[in-house]
């Protein structure tokens, strides 16, 4: 499976995701944001970091970059797109995913391992997980507070477009287990065609028991199926 990782000035999880993809047997290429053509890819990853120093709004400037036009075209053709952390913010700024990521409710940058629950395990991104499986996974963000309008929130719920929700270690979804104030504890969502996943947690940091755990690995192996 061929993958491409888009690199912006200020991306800092690009190499982590590349290592994770290669470990999971993807044939990966890095693509600089000024490129105007994408290599043939089954999966495009928009990685985490601080593209353009988070100027204006997180992801706003990257969302208007040259390569993003190609990502949008590929997405509309059904290519799989994964946006992690700043990548999720960029995808919302392009309109590929609806909603927005606001400043964390407590105004603090949060970097810690938290728990998320797999809400929909019937997608290309999540089929190797069990439904309601609890994953221990790292978050590291300042703007992770997911917000959207009521109509879209209904659509997310009715069409099963919520990928992950923040929960406690027993899988309880409540205010205490919500680290950033996200609506309904949302940690990751799909677009209506379910070929795009945006998520604040970092699965690429969870693919090796030596340095963390292996809870993120099934996201990548799901894609290989």
Task: Note the residues at the interface with other proteins (CB under 8 A).
Answer: 56-57, 60, 64, 92-93, 98-100, 102-107, 145, 147-149, 181
> Is 39 in contact with 15 (CB distance < 8 Å)?
no
> Is 79 in contact with 125 (CB distance < 8 Å)?
no
Would residue 13 show up in a list of annotated catalytic residues for this protein?
Answer: no
Residue 73: CB atoms within 10 Å: 11
Instruction: Write down the catalytic residue from 13, 79, 85, 167.
Output: 85
Would residue 202 show up in a list of annotated catalytic residues for this protein?
Answer: yes
For other proteins, the closer CB: 15 or 152 = 152
| Distance in Å, CB of 151 to other proteins, minimum | 12
| Distance in Å, CB of 148 to other proteins, minimum | 7
What CA–CA distance (Å, rounded) separates 142 from 106?
9
Would residue 204 show up in a list of annotated catalytic residues for this protein?
Answer: yes
For other proteins, the closer CB: 63 or 216 = 63
| Distance in Å, CB of 20 to other proteins, minimum | 30
Q: How are strands ordered across the β-sheet holding 134-141?
A: 27-32, 2-7, 43-46, 80-84, 196-199, 186-190, 162-167, 110-118, 134-141
Give catalytic residue positions. 85, 202, 204
């Amino acid at each position: 499976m061929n993958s491409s990782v888009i690199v912006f000035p200020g991306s800092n999880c690009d190499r982590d995701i590349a290592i994770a993809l290669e470990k999971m047997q993807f044939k990966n290429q890095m693509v600089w944001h000024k490129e105007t053509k994408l290599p043939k890819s089954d999966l495009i990853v928009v990685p985490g970091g601080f593209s353009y120093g988070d100027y204006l709004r997180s992801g706003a400037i990257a969302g208007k970059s040259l390569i993003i036009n190609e990502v949008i075209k590929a997405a509309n053709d059904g290519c799989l797109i994964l946006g992690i952390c700043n990548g999720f913010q960029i995808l919302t700024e392009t309109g590929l995913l609806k909603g927005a990521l606001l400043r964390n409710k407590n105004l603090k940058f949060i970097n810690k391992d938290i728990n998320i629950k797999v809400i929909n395990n019937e997608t290309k991104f999540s089929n190797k997980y069990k439904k309601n499986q609890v994953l221990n996974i790292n978050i590291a963000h300042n703007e992770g507070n997911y917000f959207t309008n009521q109509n879209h929130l209904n659509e997310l719920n009715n069409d099963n477009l919520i990928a992950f929700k923040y929960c406690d270690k027993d899988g309880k979804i409540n205010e205490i287990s919500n680290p950033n104030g996200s609506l309904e504890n949302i940690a990751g969502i799909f677009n209506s065609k379910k070929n795009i996943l945006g998520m604040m947690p970092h699965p690429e940091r969870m693919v090796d028991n030596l340095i963390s755990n292996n809870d993120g690995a099934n996201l990548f192996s799901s894609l290989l199926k």
